[in-house]
Amino acid sequence: MVPNRKLSGFSLVEMAIVLVITGLILGTVIGAMNVQVTGQRIKETQERQRVIKEALINYIRQNSRLPCPADITAGVTGTNAGEVPADCAASTIAVDSGAARKGTIPWKTLGLNAESAQDAYGRLFTYIVTDEATTRDRNTISGLRGNLLIYPTATDVTANTNRLNPCNGALTICDNLAVVAIISHGANGFGAYSGQGSVISDAGASDDEKANTDHADLKLVDSDFNQQSFDDYVLWLKPSELLQPLTNSGALLDARAFNNIQFERLLAALATTTTIDASGVCYTLSTTLPTLKDAWGNDIVPGVSASQPICGADGTDVPMKSNGMDTSDTNDDQQISPALKVNDLFEYLQHMIGGP
């Protein structure tokens, strides 16, 4: 006769402990997977922004300007989606009354695919570009300049403090200002446009995020990532970041080199507009010098005038110069080098046209 054996098993307490431990393990694994997925999306988004930057540099190489944004409301399938519009003002969103233009990446024009114009969350990148940059040409592209101001928080935007791209000294216009911003509105997508061209309301966005959806001014926020209050990824580019690769390769002259060529042209023009004056010992301008522009489209200062005799004994400075990117400040002026004096011009004219 086989004796009865008491069946054994898990008690309710033991099962509860197992379930708790299993839940903790699953929670840890899921949490780690979420972190991994988030990190991968950030990496993928930033890589797509890098590809767009390279495409913009190549566009400048070919067209000597930056492209207008594509119509963001066209999404990826609408009419002229991904293309530079025929009328930039009519097909884009005006920022600060048109000082800059907002839309999305003109991926077709740049030779990219639709996926490249979207972040890793499947939403269109916001592309903001200074309006002036879209009208440059081969004579003025080296003077590309920005107007976008970047701050670490919306509070700093309001107070105009701690700007991430300030100008040095008294300059208000400088190469540090951003000419382009490429914005992913992150996982929450507040203010972003879908591939169908519909906008996600920014009603739930933080003040920092709303700064990147506001069209009233040229101020943007590039803050530290915070999943609850700021998950935008902002790539802002200064003119030098777009032009330097082209100047390094020899495809483009930088602003100073362009201005030096303009100085040389002005000197050459001086030799054709000058005659010996009535005294027979000095030169004078017989016709007005041509107006030449610097890299920023401003007049080169010739340094001599029609009423000024050019004599061999005159050691007065000739301030032939560009007034720089910021014409209201002298700190960024560029003068012809080596600096000229009137007697230097006298010797130059003797060599070029003969005379006294």
Domain ranges of the chain: 34-248, 255-353
340, β-bridge pairs: 318
Phi, psi of 91 (to 5 degrees): -110, 5
Q: Which of 328, 327, 273, 321 is nearest to 300 (CA)?
A: 321
Helix pair 239-248, 12-63: axis angle to 10 deg: 60
Per-residue pLDDT for the chain (356 aa), expressed as one digit of tens each? 555 555 555 677 767 676 767 666 666 655 555 555 567 999 999 999 999 999 999 999 999 999 999 999 999 999 999 999 999 998 999 999 999 999 999 999 999 999 999 999 999 999 999 999 999 999 899 999 999 999 999 999 999 999 999 998 889 999 999 999 999 999 999 999 999 999 999 999 999 999 999 999 999 999 988 877 899 999 999 999 999 999 999 999 999 999 999 999 999 999 999 999 988 999 999 888 999 999 999 999 999 988 889 999 999 999 999 999 999 999 999 999 999 999 999 999 999 998 87
Length of the chain: 356
CB 305 within 8 A of CB 285: yes
pTM of the model: 0.85
Amino acid residing at 209:
E
For tokens 């594509």, what's the residue?
70
Whole-angstrom distance, CA of residue 342 vs CA of residue 313: 8
